[in-house]
Structure 1
Amino acid sequence: MAQDTPAQDLMHYEAMAQDAMRGVVKAALKRAAAPEGLPGAHHFYVTFKTKAPDVSGPRDLLDKYPDEMTIVLQHQYWDLEPADTGFAVTLQFGGQPKRLSVPYAAVSRFYDPSVQFLLQFEVAGADGAPPAQEPETAVEPPAERSDDGEAKVVSLDQFRKK
């Protein structure tokens, strides 16, 4: 029996989905940058590739994290400036204010632990090349609670085309 070859995705849906999810990061940062700041207990862990194109910050800081760096936007961040292609923020490292500029394309993970919301992304290499394999979108929805109160992770893998 002949096996059908899967159709080639000429629309690049995975890349479009990644871009759309990066829009969630952008919208969340815009809300955090508003005069009211972050509502309630919300706060963000933003992980990014330090060698990705257009990431900038103090060389000593970026050299200390040669692959990825995670920053926390909760109480002590200043001058958060979300823009169309990335964001800039001032944070304290070792008691010293330091400015970072991060394109959304460099973000590999966005997590709001107050509501267990996580987005993960594929990031182009430091040379700007696309990831080695096709990008995979991973979204972990808020953990559901089972009857005994334990957190239950819901996986979307069963819905992905293999």
Structure 2
Amino acid sequence: MTRQGIDYGGMMHRAMQGLIADVLKSIATEGLPGEHHFFITFDTRIEGVEMADWLRDRYPEEMTIVIQHWFDNLTVDEDGFGITLNFGNSPEPLRIPFDALRTFVDPSVEFGLRFETQDHDEDEDEELDEGLLDDISDDDSPDDSPNGGGEVVQLDRWRK
């Protein structure tokens, strides 16, 4: 019997989905506070995504929605969320599973999450890791960082 390691990537992925679920549940009951608004990008090809045919034709792979001024019927469950948004004066219901999410950004507080897919191979992983290391330089000091302290959390980069 082989001993399995701890799946930190999977655990982190589920935790970040839970964070988004908690935020959306709060918004569903209390509305958006202050200047908060969200850009949510999702993969339209994932099983369980429900959207109008004309939207799917326009966004066959990926779509970004904005939750800000007008939205209706926001519901959240353990698998995803449903929402009605206005597209050119046409309210359209959407159903988005959490597994379809690619990014979640709240620019009002410079917060973002990125869910990376596992569709690429190990060579691409190595290139991504090298690119990430190239971005981190010993010459970077706190004085070089932009004001506001924005944060993007990338998940599953090292998950196998």
Question: Is 2:110–2:150's contact at 8 Å kept on the other side of the alignment?
Answer: no
The whole-number CA distance in structure 1 between the counterparts of 2:80 and 2:71 is 16
Instruction: Work out which of the residue numbers 6, 22, 28 in structure 2 matches 1:11.
Output: 6
Instruction: Work out which of the residue numbers 8, 13, 29 in structure 1 matches 2:24.
Output: 29
What residue is the counterpart of 1:114 in the other structure? 108
What residue is the counterpart of 1:87 in the other structure? 81
The whole-number CA distance in structure 2 between the counterparts of 1:155 and 1:74 is 20
Query: What is the correspondence of 1:61-80 to structure 2 with a 5 Å cutoff?
Result: 61-80=55-74
Instruction: Report the count of equivalent residues.
Output: 137
Q: Is structure 2 residue 119 aligned with structure 1 residue 131? A: yes
Look up the equivalent residue of 1:11 and give its one-letter code: I
SS of residue paired to 1:15 = helix
Q: Give the TM-score taking structure 2 as reference length.
A: 0.74
Question: Is 2:111–2:152's contact at 8 Å kept on the other side of the alignment?
Answer: no
Task: Give the direction of change, closer, same or farther, for the CA distance of 1:77–1:12 in structure 2 (3 Å limit).
Answer: same
Task: Give the direction of change, closer, same or farther, for the CA distance of 1:147–1:67 in structure 2 (3 Å limit).
Answer: same
SS of residue paired to 2:94 = strand
The whole-number CA distance in structure 2 between the counterparts of 1:42 and 1:80 is 16
What residue is the counterpart of 1:142 in the other structure? none
SS of residue paired to 1:119 = strand
Q: Give the TM-score taking structure 1 as reference length.
A: 0.73
How many angstroms does 1:154 deviate by?
6.8
SS of residue paired to 2:39 = strand
How many angstroms does 1:155 deviate by?
8.2
Q: Which runs of 5+ in 2 are unaligned?
A: 129-141
Residue identity over aligned pairs, in percent, reads: 40
How many angstroms does 1:149 deviate by?
8.9
Pairwise CA RMSD of aligned residues?
3.1
Q: Which has the higher helix share?
A: 2
Task: Give the direction of change, closer, same or farther, for the CA distance of 1:88–1:116 in structure 2 (3 Å limit).
Answer: same
Greater length-normalized contact order (CA 8 Å, ≥ 6 residues apart): 2
